[in-house]
Amino acid sequence: MTAKSKGENFRRSILAHIVLIILSFMCLFFFYILFINATHSHSELQKGFSALPGGSLIKNFKSVANDGTFPMIKGILNSLIVSGCSAAICTYFSSLTAYGLFVYDFKVKKAAFTFIMAILVMPTQVTAMGFLRLITNMGMYDSLLPLIIPSIASPAVFYFMYSYLQSSLPISLVEAARIDGSGEFRTFNQIALPIMKPAIAVQAIFTFVGSWNNYFVPALVIQSKDKMTVPILVATLRGADYMNFDMGKIYMMITVAIIPIIIVYLLLSKYIIAGVTLGGVKE
């Protein structure tokens, strides 16, 4: 390698590092501001932006935790239950559906795939009233079940899993398992599912975050305060009177609310860069 090419590679490396530093700063800056604001009181926040932390962190946390009208711990627990269960059943059943359409050949295979993809373009707001009437007639109004059960049917996650199977699961691997006497569910759970771990981890993160941040459906079906999720509780902090809400409490609640999301990402992110087939063979 000549000195000129070495110099060129060095300049490219410096430029790449500068771009990465700028992008990292832009991504982390908002988290920094959120934490800084959570350490200031309402009166300090009204004075304007401050890049230095304040001394009201513990005060804001106690103000939120000890507020009898604001069940913070219960709200976080409700969001954890809803988001965790939604992520689990969404990724599993979407993977199972994608596996069934990918592995089996039947007459209405294309029609079933088209029908599932057609549901993808239908917004939640269009079916909101029908959904509300359905869960009311089923006796599930004002409960967490309507926030969890619909996650079984997720066309977007299904399509992602189906595309991943097309590139990662050789049919010969499934046929070999059948020849060895493996049942269909055993083949899926012990062969296909481990191969899909990176895709499942990615979609579990997206589903968890989407369910955690979901405001529309919980606001539609939840009435009891002890069953409210984090987005609804954060909205109630502001109250009806604009001049009487505490911005310090709001920033503190948001700071506490994003901690579980960060933990889930740290736990699942290692699977994103894991091996694609995890020992499987490719045709």
Q: Give the range among 116-125, 128-137, 152-161 with minimum mean pLDDT.
A: 116-125
Q: Distance (Å, rounded) from C-alpha 224 to C-alpha 218?
A: 11
CA 180 to chain centre: 38
For residues 166-195, give the mean pLDDT.
87
Whether the predicted pLDDT of 216 surpasses 50: yes
Which helix or strand (DSSP H or E) is residue 200 part of?
Answer: helix 197-213
Tell me if 280 is assigned to some domain.
no
Indicate whether 49 and 145 sit together in one domain: no
Computed over every residue of the chain, the mean pLDDT equals: 83
Q: Tell me, yes or no, whether 146 lies in a domain.
A: yes
Look up the CATH number of the domain holding residue 263: 1.10.3720.10
Which range among 19-33, 57-71, 160-174, 198-212 shows the weakest confidence by mean pLDDT?
A: 57-71
Q: Write down the pLDDT at residue 172.
A: 87
User: pTM value?
Assistant: 0.79
In eight-state DSSP terms, residue 143 is S
Rounded to 10 deg, the angle between the 155-168 and 197-213 helix axes is 170
In a domain, 282, yes or no: no
What is the spatial distance between Cα 13 and Cα 21, in angstroms, rounded to a whole number?
A: 12
Q: Report the C-alpha gap between 195 and 75 in whole angstroms.
A: 35
Tell me, what's the pLDDT at 11? Answer: 83
State whether 46 and 175 are in the same domain: no
Instruction: Indicate whether 246 and 119 sit together in one domain.
Output: yes
Distance between CA atoms of 182 and 69, rounded to whole angstroms?
Answer: 55
Tell me if 173 sits within 8 A of 196, measured CB to CB. Answer: no
E strand or H helix at 80 = helix 72-103
pLDDT of residue 97: 92
pLDDT bin (cut points 50, 70, 90) of residue 243 is low
Asked whether residue 156 falls in the same domain as residue 210, the answer is yes
Domain edge (last residue) among 36, 57, 78: 57
Cα end-to-end span (Å), the chain:
38
* pLDDT for res 4: 64
In this structure, the answer to whether residues 110 and 168 fall within a common structural domain is yes
Q: Is residue 229 part of a domain?
A: yes
Is there a domain that residue 277 lies in? no
User: Do residues 54 and 44 touch, judged by C-beta distance below 8 A?
Assistant: yes
Count of structural domains, the chain: 2
213 and 110 both lie in a single domain: yes
Residue numbers of the domain that contains 104: 64-272
Amino acid identity, position 173: L
Residue 37 lies inside a defined structural domain of this protein: yes
The CA angle 255-256-261, to the nearest 5 degrees, is: 90
